[in-house]
């Protein structure tokens, strides 16, 4: 099943490749205008999975509001005992994570296949 949420200059495509695993593929800019859309999708999806993969390979800009969504999602995932995995290979995502130290806190993978296939 695939769902597409496209309200602003951001697209979030939700896929369920295996039972209990949700992959949210994000493309576009994650800033203060688009972060609420991302937050809503992730809040809806985290309630119904064991593993949430957030594929940020298509993100061209990750601002502070986007980083806040990642932190909030990480806290909610911990609370619900859901494993959060980020696909963060591109500089536009890696750099903000590194600058803020979130790369040390969040579990990142170079590709979607690596994130989905990682033992849990």
Please report whether residue 117 resides in a domain.
Answer: no
Under the banding of pLDDT at 50, 70 and 90, the label for residue 76 is very high
Residue 88 has pLDDT above 60, yes or no: yes
Mean pLDDT of the chain: 92
In a domain, 120, yes or no: no
Q: Is residue 118 assigned to a domain?
A: no
Domain assignment present for residue 62? The answer is yes
Please, are residues 10 and 30 in contact by the beta-carbon 8 Å criterion? Answer: yes
Reported as a pLDDT band with limits 50, 70 and 90, residue 8 is low
Domain contains 76: yes
* CATH code, domain with 14: 3.30.750.24
Q: Which domain holds residue 52?
A: 2-109
Residue 19 lies inside a defined structural domain of this protein: yes
Residues whose CB falls within 8 Å of the CB of residue 25, separated by 6 or more in sequence, listed in order = 12, 13, 14, 15, 55, 57, 58, 112
Model confidence pLDDT, tens digit, residues 24-72: 999 999 999 999 999 999 999 999 899 999 999 999 999 999 999 999 9
Total number of domains constituting the chain: 1
Q: Which residues pair with 24 in a beta bridge?
A: 14, 54
- Kindly state the DSSP code that residue 104 receives in the 8-state scheme: G
In a domain, 105, yes or no: yes
| Percent of the chain topping pLDDT 70 | 92
Transcribe 34-92 into DSSP letters. THHHHHHHHHHHHTT-SEEEEEEEEEEEE-HHHHHHHHHHHHHHHHHT-EEEEE--SHH
Residue 91 belongs to some domain of the structure: yes
């Amino acid at each position: 099943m695939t769902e597409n949420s496209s309200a602003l200059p951001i697209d979030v495509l939700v896929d369920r490749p295996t039972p209990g695993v949700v992959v949210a593929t994000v493309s576009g800019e994650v800033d203060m205008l688009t972060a609420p859309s991302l937050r809503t999708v992730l809040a809806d999806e985290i309630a119904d999975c064991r593993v949430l993969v957030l594929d940020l390979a298509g993100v061209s800009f990750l601002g502070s509001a986007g980083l806040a969504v990642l932190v909030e999602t990480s806290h909610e995932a911990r609370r619900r005992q859901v494993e959060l995995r980020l696909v963060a290979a591109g500089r536009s995502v890696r750099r903000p994570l590194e600058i803020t130290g979130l790369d040390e806190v969040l579990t990142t993978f170079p590709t979607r296949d690596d994130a989905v296939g990682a033992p849990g």
